[in-house]
Amino acid sequence: MSSVLSQDTRSNIYDAYFLVTHGSKSPLSWAALQTLITSTNTLTEIFVGGGCLEGQPITLAQQLQQFCENLSKQSDLEHINVAVIPLFLLPGVHVKEDIPTEIAIAQQKMIDSIEQSIALELTPHLGTHPQIPTLLQSQLEAQIALVQHCNHKSNQNIGPILLSHGSRLTEAFQTIETLADRLGAIAAYWSVPPDLDTQIEKLIAQGKEHIIVMPYFLSSGGIMEAISQQISLYGDSLTDASRRVQIDIAPVPFSPEQIALFILDLPGLNRSLKEYWQLD
C-alpha cells in the first residue's frame, strides 16, 4: 500500500477506505478488524483503516477523526474522499442510524482540526454485495451433500435454517426472509423472534430428521460459541421420540480474504483489485 497520497497517483473516486465493524469489549474483535484491514490492503493500493462502533475507549466519530488526521499528514491533496464502509450484513439500526450519526459528528469536528477538505461518504453495507446469496447457496449445497453422503438422508428429511442476528427494522427482517426463501431455508434470529429453538421445533414437527443451521455472521467468535451451547442444550432437552433428529452447525461462510474481495467490489467503490479475483 502506498503510504503517501499525492495528486500524481490519484486515479480513483476514493482516496481511502475506513472499515467499520460492530466491535465488542473482547480484544479479539479489534484483532479481527485488523485482519480484515490487512486482507484488504493486500488487494488494493488505496489507504485502508478501520474502527469499531462499540467496545473501544473512544467513539467511532473520534476513531474516524484520528484516521483522517493521520491521512492528512501523509497527503498533499487539497481534497480527500474517504469511503466509510459498514461491515454489516443487515440494514439494521447500526447501518441506518448509528454509523451515519457518527460520520456527521466526525465531519463537523474535522472542519476546524484539519486543513484539507475531507469528505466522509457512507457506502452500501457489506450485505448488499450481489454474490453473497450465491456463496451461501453453494455452501449450503455442500453441507446437504455431506449429510446425504454420511447419513443417507434425502433432501426431504433435511431442514436448513438461516440464522441471523436480527434487527427491529422491517427492512433488515425482510432481507433475511427473502434470502432464506432463496436458499430453501427458514429464518431464525439471535436477538428477535422467531428464535432458533422455535424454528428447530417447527422443522421437527414437519418430520425433518437432520437440521443444518447456517450462521449468517461475518466471523466466528463469542456468538458462535453461544449458538453451539444453545444447540447442545436443546439437544439434551429433546424427548425420546425426537432423539433421532441431528442438528449440525455449518461453518461461518466468510473468510477475511472473501470479505476483502466483497469490500472492494461493492457497488460504487473503486475497482482497484490487483489480479486477485482468482482466489479460492
Contact assessment for residue 147 and residue 248, using Cβ atoms and an 8 Å cutoff? yes
Whole-number CA gyration radius for the chain: 21
Please report, for the domain that includes residue 50, its CATH number.
Answer: 3.40.50.1400
Does a structural domain hold residue 267? no
Q: How large is the average pLDDT for residues 88-107? A: 96
Using alpha carbons, select from 191, 186, 183, 187 the residue that is nearest to residue 165: 191
Domain edge (last residue) among 128, 143, 160? 128
Does a structural domain hold residue 258? no
Q: What's the pLDDT at 103? A: 97
Does a structural domain hold residue 157? yes
Does a structural domain hold residue 6? no
Report DSSP letters for 24-38, one per residue.
-SSHHHHHHHHHHHH
β-partners of residue 160 are 212
The Cβ of residue 204 has, within 10 Å, a number of other Cβ atoms equal to 19
Contact assessment for residue 81 and residue 121, using Cβ atoms and an 8 Å cutoff? yes
Q: How large is the average pLDDT for residues 35-51? A: 95
Residue partners of 100: CB distance under 8 A and separation at least 6: 122
Does a structural domain hold residue 7? no
Backbone conformation region of residue 23, classed left if phi is above 0, alpha if psi is from -120 to 50, else beta: left
**Starting from the edge strand earliest in sequence, which strands make up the sheet with 117-122, in order?**
47-52, 16-21, 79-86, 117-122
- Same domain? For 23 and 121 the reply is yes
- On the question of pLDDT at 280 being above 80, the answer is no
- Return d(Cα 73, Cα 76) in angstroms, integer: 8
Q: Which three cell numbers stand for residue 95?
A: 447501518
Helix, strand or coil for residue 275? coil
Contact assessment for residue 166 and residue 192, using Cβ atoms and an 8 Å cutoff? yes
Does a structural domain hold residue 223? yes
Q: How large is the average pLDDT for residues 46-67? A: 96
- What would the pLDDT profile of 225-267 be if each residue is shown by its tens digit? 888 888 888 776 665 555 578 899 999 999 999 999 999 999 7
At 62, which helix (H) or strand (E)?
Answer: helix 60-73
- Return d(Cα 128, Cα 170) in angstroms, integer: 16
Q: How large is the average pLDDT for residues 33-43? A: 96
Number of structural domains (the chain) is: 2
| Identity of the amino acid at 11 | S
Does a structural domain hold residue 274? no
- Same domain? For 104 and 146 the reply is no
Does a structural domain hold residue 48? yes
- Return d(Cα 103, Cα 88) in angstroms, integer: 16
Greatest alpha-carbon span in the chain? 72
The Cβ of residue 25 has, within 10 Å, a number of other Cβ atoms equal to 11
Q: What's the pLDDT at 241? A: 56
Domain with 241 in it: 132-249
Q: What's the pLDDT at 224? A: 84
CA distances from 99 to 62, 96, 256 (A): 12, 7, 22
